[in-house]
Amino acid sequence: MNKEENLDHLSYEEAILELQSIAEEIEEEEISIDALEGKVKRSLALIRYCKERLRGTEKAIRDIFEEE
């Protein structure tokens, strides 16, 4: 998935800023129902990415592969 690759370069700051801006957009109801699905998916992707990074899961997995 293209979007997942983008996440590799996000810093914690960038991730939370993006999430906050999505929240604002949704609150102002500037999002159409069509775009809603995309935005919600993006939020979930951001959260998953951050959780993995916080817990080093991502890195641990990468390390395992590097050891191979």
Total interface residues for another protein by CB under 8 A: 29
Among residues 2, 8, 9, 27, the one that binds another protein under rule CB under 8 A? 27
Q: Is residue 61 a contact point for another protein (CB under 8 A)?
A: no
Q: Is residue 10 a contact point for another protein (CB under 8 A)?
A: no
Rg of the chain (C-alpha set): 14
User: Where do we find the tokens 């641990």?
Assistant: 60
Among residues 3, 59, 61, 63, the one that binds another protein under rule CB under 8 A? 59
- Are the C-beta atoms of residues 38 and 46 closer than 8 Å to each other? no
Residue type, 66: E
